[in-house]
């Protein structure tokens, strides 16, 4: 399906052409904004088409770049799981691109901002849609490089440059670790195609490639350990979480929304794909033991991330750092759910990835309006500002109550799924989720109280109409999704999780394509 390839190629093509376009139009801000809006809108339409096709098909969709099939070429394999996250990504990127224009209206270099922004979108979608482990590495790099540049967008500010360099350093370590995992996979299994890797670890015959190292369990076990470590860095799971609170205050607020709502999904999605589709339901004894150990590590570190980050939320004076630690809380929930290795755990993690992305993006965007009006990120300086920007205050309150799991908002249902999945494993894990949610709620209430009932301060006159409109759309989305969450679960989430765990179909659709191509 051509829409799969175009969904990734469209934003990257627009990104490469944007600097030239800016020269032609002499960097006129309105034209650059319109250009970028068209790019993100076309990408959204393409991902809607991919999403629709994925849910109308009983098998994953395949796209071959240059018409070369694996193992020679790169395949993109799209099932209901990655189609759902891709649609969430493109929809939020479109809305945040609108918000960005008004937020950055007094800043120079808008053409470079949107160039990196479109590159970031292409990278995230590439990560989500690819069916090739090496191409996953390439797209993680594309995502990371664009993110580093955007964190350092305020290049005249020391904190921005320092935070960006720290992020780049830890990110480079993560991608290098994952590259080592890819090397081990290719050197031992003779392939980097995900379906081919899944076939070999499950003992299923696959055309063309052959195993070079007979101890598959040892080789793929080492590769899985390295890959999981890298994905934990990208998802900001303790103890590799520290780049996230540093990057958020330094980045423009729209990019903070993208980092917390979407970029961290690169890590948890990759974990989900490796732990469910590629290595899920393995039967070889040594690999079963590896999977059990890795699952336990994810559960423990995810639970610790949730408790630790919730506590850290309560000592923050910078609103963006507080929200950043909230992201670590929720990434911990998702990592623990993935570590369970159950169908309910997969459903809960997928639904929470989607719900958290929307709610967290909204929280950052609403906070961005407070920051613009108050001229400060410090919570103390936001005192009484809520009455001056009622739409932003409403949006911030909706996102707050959603993230702590208040019904009938969207995150409530995915948290309910998480709680149930944890209960099936161990009641202690459910208790940790409840305790961390209560601790986080205390931090949120402190901010809301200060914004709504603190003594009013002087504010700046700032036009926030476009930004408030985006916040209102997302706030309404949170309410609507929450109200129809059971329908979404039955129609979208449960089928997506079921298909993601069906490794045999994931393998078979690629095997048939290869056999047809070489017959």
Q: Quick one: 32 exposed, middle or buried, by C-beta within 10 A (0-12, 13-18, 19+)?
A: buried
Query: ∠ at Cα 93 (107, 195), nearest 5°?
Result: 135
H helices of 104-157, in order, are 110-129, 133-151
pLDDT computed for residue 212 by the predictor = 67
φ, ψ of residue 378 to 5 degrees: the values are -70, 130
Alpha-carbon gap, residue 477 to 87, rounded angstroms: 14
Please give the Cα distance from 249 to 113 (Å, whole number): 17
Local structure of residue 67 (DSSP, 8 states)? G
Residues 6+ apart with CB under 8 A from 19: 111, 112, 115
**For position 1, what pLDDT does the model report?**
55
Q: Which residues pair with 132 in a beta bridge?
A: 193
> Token pair of 270, please?
């990759």
The tokens for 462 are 């700032």
Question: What is 409-472 written as a DSSP string?
Answer: SHHHHHHHHHHHHHHHH-HHHHHHHHHHHHHHHHHHHHHHHHHHHSPP--------HHHHHHHH
Task: Give the whole-angstrom CA distance, residue 171 versus residue 137.
Answer: 12
Q: How much is the pLDDT for 232?
A: 93
Distance (Å, rounded) from C-alpha 198 to C-alpha 205? 10
- In the three-class reduction of DSSP (H, G, I as helix; E, B as strand; rest coil), residue 91 is classed as helix
DSSP 378: B
Contact between 304 and 377 (Cβ < 8 Å):
no
Q: Residues in the chain with pLDDT < 50? A: none
Q: What is the pLDDT of residues 22-71, one digit of tens each?
A: 888 876 888 988 999 999 999 999 999 999 999 999 899 999 887 777 77
pTM of the full structure:
0.93
Res 385: pLDDT: 87
Backbone angles phi, psi at 212, to 5 degrees: -100, -20
Please write the tens of the pLDDT for every residue from 334-356. 999 999 989 999 999 999 999 99
Residues linked to residue 193 through DSSP beta bridges, in sequence order:
132
117: left (phi over 0), alpha (psi -120 to 50) or beta: alpha
């Amino acid at each position: 399906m051509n829409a799969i390839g175009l969904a990734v190629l469209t934003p990257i093509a627009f990104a490469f052409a944007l600097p030239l376009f800016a020269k032609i139009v002499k960097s006129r801000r309105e034209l650059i904004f319109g250009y970028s809006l068209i790019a993100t809108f076309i990408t959204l339409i393409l991902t809607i088409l991919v999403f629709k096709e994925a849910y109308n098909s009983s098998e994953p969709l395949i796209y071959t770049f240059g018409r070369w099939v694996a193992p020679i070429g790169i395949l993109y394999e799209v099932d209901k799981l990655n189609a759902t996250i891709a649609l969430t990504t493109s929809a939020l990127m479109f809305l945040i691109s609108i918000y960005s224009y008004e937020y950055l209206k007094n800043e120079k270099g808008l053409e470079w901002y949107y160039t990196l922004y479109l590159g970031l979108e292409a990278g995230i979608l590439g990560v989500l849609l690819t069916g090739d482990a090496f191409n996953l590495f390439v797209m993680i790099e594309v995502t990371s490089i664009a993110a580093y540049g955007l964190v350092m967008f305020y290049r005249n500010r020391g904190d921005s440059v320092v935070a960006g360099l720290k992020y780049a350093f830890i990110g480079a370590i993560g991608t290098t670790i994952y590259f080592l995992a890819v090397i081990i996979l290719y050197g031992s299994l003779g392939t980097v195609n995900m379906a081919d890797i899944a076939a070999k670890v499950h003992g299923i015959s696959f055309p063309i490639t052959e195993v070079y190292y007979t101890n598959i369990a040892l080789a793929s076990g080492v590769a899985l350990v390295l890959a999981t470590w890298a994905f934990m860095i990208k998802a900001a799971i303790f103890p590799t979480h520290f780049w996230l609170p540093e990057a958020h205050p330094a980045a423009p607020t729209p990019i903070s929304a993208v980092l917390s709502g979407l970029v961290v999904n690169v890590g948890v999605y990759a974990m989900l794909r490796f732990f469910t589709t590629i290595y899920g339901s393995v039967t070889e004894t040594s690999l079963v033991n590896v999977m059990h150990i890795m699952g336990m590590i994810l559960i423990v570190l995810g639970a610790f991330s949730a408790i630790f980050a919730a506590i850290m939320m309560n000592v923050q004076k910078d609103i963006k750092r507080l929200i950043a630690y909230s992201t670590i809380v929720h990434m911990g929930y998702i990592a623990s759910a993935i570590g369970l290795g159950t169908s309910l755990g997969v459903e809960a993690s997928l639904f929470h990835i989607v719900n958290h992305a929307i709610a967290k993006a909204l929280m950052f965007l609403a906070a961005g309006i407070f920051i613009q009006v108050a001229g400060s990120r410090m919570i103390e300086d936001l005192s009484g500002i809520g009455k001056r920007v009622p739409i932003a205050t409403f949006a911030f309150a909706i996102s707050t109550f959603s993230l702590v799991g208040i019904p009938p908002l969207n995150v409530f249902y995915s948290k309910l799924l998480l709680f149930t999945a944890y209960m099936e494993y161990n009641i202690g894990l459910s208790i940790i989720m409840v305790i961390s949610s209560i601790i986080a709620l205390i931090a949120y209430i402190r901010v809301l109280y200060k914004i709504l009932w603190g003594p009013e301060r002087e504010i700046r006159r700032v036009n926030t109409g476009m930004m408030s409109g985006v916040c209102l759309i997302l706030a309404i989305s949170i309410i609507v999704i929450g109200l129809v969450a059971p329908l979404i679960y039955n129609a979208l989430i449960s089928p997506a999780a079921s298909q993601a765990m069906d490794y045999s179909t994931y393998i078979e659709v690629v095997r048939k394509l290869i056999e047809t191509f070489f017959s």
